[in-house]
């Protein structure tokens, strides 16, 4: 065979390989192997934006051999959806792709289709709703009522969008916690009589009835679940401690004092600790974060919150950091304190608008979205999980609350309490300053280097064709 023929055949192979969808076997080798070995590192599709790594490709389309570059309206409001009066924090249903928005002003739930970004149903409820919790095991949603207005938890079917039952819990229910390992919901219940101890009602996800009642402290709030030791950590707001509940036995393991009024903790799966926001209970105390070890059920660190009234923390599983908003009543600005889960120390403080809500983590781009309810010109601040700095400020309507994140579209759905609307923010991959290119039909990046290689081989072919032969061995 002449060298010219060999080189020409090689060029044809490279060009054909570039046109084969990813995952197709060609000449005994997966086309993904062509991508892995033939594309320079800066041109490979990235599942997350990192400065200096090149264009960002929609990971969902990579498997089909096509990639979508990020839209130019990332971190911008793409829709404002009218809902019922005074909407609260929504919940995303992963089974049907709907977003459920509690509307206490009209005693109902607005159901938003995330595919259409439109209200597809309105569900009447027996009392004004508080928060909604989704049970991924049975597809139901569990709705507590605003304090003192009902002693029941309302169950809504995610398949029919109808109320199926109401579960009496013997007091005023706070938002429950769903435990996937046993399929039950743990509802903190405030006693009807003032200053009496509360309890946790355990609702079975299979029967939607109370199967256990666990005594805890006064004024319990939503617990956090430790998936490693199987315990629930229930903050008792009036008792300045946290009750540790075993979900295996539905009994109290221990009680952990935290030196102030605790709120709902956050569980950090990277180190097994729980981060409890604590507001000072007496003169001389400071607002802080108590870190409870899931291994010993004791406080192992006390971290100054840096500002007043720390909110419910959020853990970022990608970088191991914990983000705590400060309500900062009366302050011109709010703050988000960033705590390293590795060292349990403050590593950054991001300045946002006043009255920031709890951050919401976007697993698509690794950013955190912080709504600021300043009741005039609300906005959502975007904090980069890479730099821990504010990288975007998104104007919304007026009084935003914490959004619900849709992992399918990558969009946060942000309720606006005063505007009676939900703002849909285009999330997904952050472009980090990279100029986005055209739409989803842009070919897979394997074509670019393959054509370049083919062109180079073609030049060699024309340069050396004719009189050089390859001698057979």
**DSSP class per residue in 345-413:** EEEEEEEEESSB---EE-TTT--EEEEE--SSS-EEEEE-TTT-SEEEEEE-SS-B---EEETTTTEEE
In this prediction, residue 305 has a pLDDT band, given cuts at 50, 70 and 90, of confident
Residue 236 and residue 254: Cα distance in Å, rounded?
A: 13
Residue carrying structure tokens 């906005």: 379
% of residues, the chain, pLDDT over 70: 73
Residue 308 domain-assigned (yes or no): no
Q: How confident is the model at residue 326 (pLDDT cuts 50, 70, 90)?
A: confident
Alpha-carbon distance of 243 to 215, in angstroms, equals: 9
* Model pLDDT, residue 332: 61
Q: Which residue has the higher pLDDT, 24 or 353?
A: 353
> Which tokens sit at 59?
């990971």
What is the mean pLDDT of the segment spanning 7-33?
39
Question: What is the pLDDT confidence band of residue 308, given thresholds at 50, 70 and 90?
Answer: confident
* Three-state DSSP class for residue 455: helix
Residue 448 lies in a domain: yes
Which of 184, 179, 279, 299 is closest to 229 using CA atoms? 179
Beta carbons within 8 Å of 68's beta carbon, 6+ residues apart: 57, 58, 61, 439, 440, 442
Q: Cβ distance 211 to 203 under 8 Å?
A: yes
pLDDT at residue number 55: 26
Residue 297 in any domain: the answer is no
Q: What is the pLDDT, as a whole number, of residue 158?
A: 97
Least confident range of 154-163, 191-200, 284-293: 191-200
Q: What total number of domains does the chain contain?
A: 1
> How would you list the strands of the sheet with 77-82, edge to edge?
77-82, 421-425, 411-416, 404-406
Q: Is 384 within a domain?
A: no
The average pLDDT across 171-192 equals 95
- CA 325 – CA 317 distance, rounded (Å): 17
Q: Is residue 445 part of a domain?
A: yes
pLDDT tens per residue across span 132-169:
999 999 999 999 998 778 999 999 999 999 999 999 99
In a domain, 113, yes or no: no
pLDDT at 430: 43
Domain that holds residue 34: 3-70+436-464
List pLDDT tens digits, range 335-390. Answer: 999 999 999 999 999 999 888 999 999 988 899 999 998 756 789 999 999 999 99
Judged against a pLDDT cut of 70, whether residue 249 lies above it is answered with yes
User: Does 12 map to a domain?
Assistant: yes
181 falls within a domain:
no
């Amino acid at each position: 065979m002449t060298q010219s023929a060999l080189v020409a055949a090689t060029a044809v192979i490279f060009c054909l390989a570039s046109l084969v969808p990813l995952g197709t076997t060609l000449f005994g080798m997966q086309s993904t192997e062509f991508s892995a070995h033939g594309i320079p590192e800066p041109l490979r599709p990235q599942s997350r934006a990192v400065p200096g790594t090149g264009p960002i490709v929609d990971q969902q389309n990579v498997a089909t051999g096509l990639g979508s570059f990020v839209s130019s309206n990332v971190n911008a409001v793409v829709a404002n959806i009218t809902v019922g009066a005074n909407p609260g924090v929504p919940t995303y249903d992963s089974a049907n792709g709907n977003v459920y928005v509690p509307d206490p002003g009209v005693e109902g739930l607005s159901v938003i289709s995330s595919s259409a970004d439109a209200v597809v149903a309105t569900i009447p409820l027996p009392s004004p709703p508080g928060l909604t919790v989704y049970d991924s095991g049975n597809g139901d949603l569990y709705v507590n009522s605003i304090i003192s207005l009902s002693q029941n938890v309302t169950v809504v079917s995610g398949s029919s969008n109808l109320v199926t039952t109401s579960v009496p819990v013997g007091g005023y229910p706070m938002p429950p916690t769903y435990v996937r390992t046993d399929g039950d919901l743990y509802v903190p219940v405030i006693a009807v009589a003032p200053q009496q101890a509360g309890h946790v009602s355990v609702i079975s996800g299979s029967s939607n009835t109370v199967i256990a009642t666990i005594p805890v402290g006064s004024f319990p709030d939503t617990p956090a679940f430790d998936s490693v030791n199987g315990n629930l950590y229930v903050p008792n707001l009036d008792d300045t401690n946290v009750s540790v509940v075993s979900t295996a036995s539905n009994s109290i393991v221990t009680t952990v004092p935290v030196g102030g009024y605790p709120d709902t903790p956050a569980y950090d799966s990277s180190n097994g600790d729980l981060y409890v926001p604590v507001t000072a209970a007496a003169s001389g105390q400071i607002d802080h974060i108590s870190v409870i070890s899931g291994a010993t059920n004791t406080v192992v660190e006390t971290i100054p919150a840096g500002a007043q009234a720390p909110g419910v923390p959020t853990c970022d599983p990608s970088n191991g950091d914990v983000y705590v908003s400060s309500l900062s009543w009366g302050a011109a600005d709010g703050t988000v304190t960033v705590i390293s889960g590795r060292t349990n120390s403050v590593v950054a403080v991001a300045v946002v608008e006043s009255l920031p809500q709890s951050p919401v983590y976007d697993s698509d781009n690794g950013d955190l979205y912080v709504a600021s309810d300043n009741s005039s010109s609300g906005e959502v601040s975007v904090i980069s999980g890479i730099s821990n700095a504010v990288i975007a400020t998104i104007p919304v309507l007026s009084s935003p609350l914490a959004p619900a994140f849709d992992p399918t579209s990558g969009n946060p759905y942000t309720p606006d309490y005063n505007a009676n609307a939900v703002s849909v923010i285009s999330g997904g991959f952050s472009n980090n300053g990279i100029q986005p290119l055209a739409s989803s039909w842009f070919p897979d990046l394997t074509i670019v280097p393959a054509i370049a290689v083919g062109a180079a081989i073609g030049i060699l072919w024309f340069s050396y064709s004719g009189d050089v032969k390859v001698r057979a061995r």
